[in-house]
Amino acid sequence: MITLDDIRAFLAVAKHESFVKASEELFITPPAMSRRIKKLEEFVGGALFERTTQMVAITPSGQVLLERAEAALHEFEAFKEFASHFAKDDIVKIRFACMWSTAGEVVPGLIRDYIKINESCEFMVQDGDAQSIEKLLKDRKIDFGISMRPDRSDNVFRFEPLCEDPIMLACPPKFQLYNRSQVTWEELQSVNPNKYDWGVLKSLSIGEFSNTVHLAKISLMEETKISHLNTQINFLDAHLRAIIMPRLGISLSRARKIRAIPITEPELKREIGILSLRTSHSSMGVCSFVQHIREHFLAHYDRATAHFTL
């Protein structure tokens, strides 16, 4: 099997047209240089150099390999330099995923603040629902996720809570419950179901939160009218429908008169936290950013939801 040392030997001989000078450049003996070239020639199945007592000349076959050998060595040297910087944490690559609601203001704010501390970091961010984040983790396409607590019986994941996000009723003006300071689940279910939507609540009913909904004995509507968060926000902002969703989701609304009304008896909350594989080992750069999230997530959450806090 050939090695990078063999390629270096080939390039040195081609450059100097001399085994002796090539040996001096690489700080090896001429016999060692000859062995490397012979191994390479046996591997490719042909002579790479013509040798006489007066000269060394590259063969047509060697000329064909020369350009590829130079490119291969250049790529390796570039990788080695990159790896060296990476090991010193000069380059920080952070791959993570977050739920749609956190992608609105919270995550961009966290990244913006962190870049002020570490300008050399690069982020690869994906958004999605809790299920897609779990799949990305299992496929090892991300280092961690900002998501909901998984089922406690699932030992694959490690979960570190960051905050509790209450489930509320996002109300546009003229909705019959708009002026209420709070509403119970029983009262809400007596309202005409065509006037509000809780598709997001159904999609959130996975992992540990599904157990919370089940214990609360809340019957979710079988039919989901709108299932995507952005579409629901658009309907909300157009004052077409009230929506049951987490407070952080409501924070994505840009309509001035939307109210977030607490739903009680019982009050439901989803846990948002840092999700990772128990078997994963993060780089120093990723650990640094995760610590930044621990320290500042709640402040960004509070700012994002302040407008809708009654």
Spatial contact of 282 and 143, defined as CB atoms under 8 Å apart: yes
Q: Is the pLDDT of residue 68 over 90?
A: no
Q: Where in the chain is the domain with CATH 1.10.10.10?
A: 4-86
The three-state secondary structure class of 78 is helix
| Each residue's pLDDT tens digit, 102-157 | 988 899 999 999 999 888 788 999 998 888 999 999 999 999 999 988 877 778 99
User: Under CATH, what is the fold of the domain 4-86?
Assistant: Arc Repressor Mutant, subunit A (1.10.10)
Three-state secondary structure of 15-60: HHCCHHHHHHHHCCCHHHHHHHHHHHHHHHCCCCEEECCCCEEECH
Give the position of tokens 């009654």. 310
Q: Which pLDDT band holds residue 285 (cuts at 50, 70, 90)? A: confident
The predicted structure's pLDDT at residue 226: 64
Cβ neighbours for 259, distance < 8 A, ≥ 6 positions apart: 170, 171, 178, 308, 310
Q: 284-305 vs 106-117: helix axis angle to the nearest 10?
A: 130
pTM above 0.75, yes or no: no
Q: Where, residue-wise, is CATH 3.40.190.290 in the chain?
A: 92-308
pLDDT for the residue numbered 282: 79
40 CB neighbour count, 10 Å cutoff: 21
Q: Which CATH number fits domain 92-308: 3.40.50.970, 3.90.1150.10, 3.40.190.290, 3.10.20.70?
A: 3.40.190.290
- Residues 181-198 as b or e (16 or more Cβ within 10 Å = b): eebebeebeeeeeeebbb
Q: What is the pLDDT of residues 205-231, one digit of tens each?
A: 555 677 777 776 776 655 556 667 788
Which of 34-48, 109-123, 204-218, 296-310 is the least confident region?
A: 204-218
**Which tokens go with 121?**
């970091």
SS3 of 227, please? coil
